[in-house]
């Protein structure tokens, strides 16, 4: 008796063969090199995670070029606040010196982010003002120097 193979079986087998080959080829290119070296993860991710990109430079780095500002800040109530608390991560600017690489904060909301009335903060720890009453319509830095708040601008 002749063994009968229905015609769709070889076609199916061919389709499987193509899919499996395609899968193996794609897998070869898509799976990162170090995957599976230690376990079911990319071994190189250990190194990546151990070396996160540095974005903050630390304020000592700022003093090199802006000692004048540090001298002002050190004399007044903002002495404890580091440059990058207000200006954001400065690593890029430290390298480039470009103004577009550093944030220059402005606006009443910026100062308000620390000085807004907040029942959760003690007034003795940080002085709070009512943004709706304290010299409304003017920017804080028109009067207070941000680096030396009690050196009032005339
Ligand atoms: C290698 C020198 C150098 C270092 C280090 C440096 N700066 Fe600067 N910074 C400059 C120069 C140059 C300018 C441009 C001055 C100008 O054009 O008036 C500037 C301008 C600025 C400005 C003004 C930006 C603007 O929009 O006008 C800010 C804010 C600033 N720096 C903050 C910082 C902070 C914060 C740090 C530390 C994280 C820092 N700088 C470190 C050289 C430096
Ligand atoms: C309490 C927040 C705060 C801190 C802390 C702070 N700055 Fe500023 N800084 C500002 C604001 C707000 C301005 C914008 C002033 C303006 O537009 O007149 C500014 C402006 C500047 C400028 C532009 C030139 C100028 O004098 O207006 C430089 C440069 C600068 N800051 C550097 C520094 C450095 C360096 C430090 C740390 C020693 C520092 N800042 C700490 C808020 C701060
Ligand atoms: C990161 C938080 C922070 C930001 C942002 C900030 N300050 Fe302050 N400020 C402080 C702290 C902390 C003190 C010291 C504690 C105190 O006296 O309230 C202080 C003190 C002051 C004082 C003196 C208050 C007193 O009782 O003697 C003034 C005025 C002041 N800041 C104005 C400003 C202005 C204007 C801005 C925006 C340019 C600003 N601050 C942004 C944290 C901040
Ligand atoms: C027109 C000028 C002017 C502007 C604008 C201004 N201030 Fe003042 N600020 C003063 C003077 C003057 C005092 C001291 C007398 C008083 O408490 O009103 C003061 C006091 C303060 C104090 C201490 C409050 C206390 O009870 O001792 C803080 C904090 C303060 N200002 C933050 C800010 C912030 C934040 C802004 C922006 C939202 C701002 N100021 C805008 C002039 C100004």
143 C-alpha to ligand 4 centroid (Å): 8
Q: What is the pLDDT of residues 12-45, one digit of tens each?
A: 999 999 999 999 999 999 999 999 999 999 999 9
Nearest CA to ligand 2 atom 21: 104
Compute the distance between CA of residue 140 and CA of residue 134 in angstroms, rounded to an integer: 9
pLDDT in the model for residue 103: 96
pLDDT in the model for residue 2: 75
**83 in ligand 3 pocket by Cβ < 6 Å?**
no
**116 in ligand 3 pocket by Cβ < 6 Å?**
no
φ, ψ for residue 55, nearest 5 deg = -110, -35
**Structure-token match 């009335």, residue found:** 117
Is residue 45 within 8 Å of 32, Cβ to Cβ? no
User: Which pLDDT band, with edges at 50, 70 and 90, does 49 fall under?
Assistant: confident
pLDDT in the model for residue 130: 95
135 C-alpha to ligand 2 centroid (Å): 21
The atom number, within ligand 1, closest to the CA of 87 reads 35
| Ligand 3 pocket test, candidate residues 106, 126, 143, most atoms within 8 A of CB | 126
pLDDT in the model for residue 51: 82
User: Which pLDDT band, with edges at 50, 70 and 90, does 154 fall under?
Assistant: low
Compute the distance between CA of residue 110 and CA of residue 29 in angstroms, rounded to an integer: 48
């Amino acid at each position: 008796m002749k063994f009968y193979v229905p015609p769709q079986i070889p076609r199916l087998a061919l389709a499987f063969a193509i899919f499996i080959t395609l899968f193996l080829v794609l897998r070869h290119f898509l799976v990162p090199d170090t995957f599976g070296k230690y376990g079911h993860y990319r071994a190189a991710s250990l190194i990546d995670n151990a070396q996160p990109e540095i974005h903050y430079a630390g304020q000592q780095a700022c003093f090199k070029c802006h000692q004048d500002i540090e001298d002002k800040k050190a004399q007044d109530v903002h002495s404890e606040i580091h440059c990058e608390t207000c200006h954001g991560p400065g690593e890029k600017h430290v390298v480039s010196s470009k103004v577009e690489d550093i944030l220059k904060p402005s606006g009443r909301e910026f100062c308000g982010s620390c000085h807004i009335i907040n029942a959760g903060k003690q007034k003795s720890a940080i002085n709070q003002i009512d943004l709706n009453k304290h010299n409304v319509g003017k920017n804080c830095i028109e009067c207070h120097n941000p680096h030396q708040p009690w050196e009032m601008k005339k």
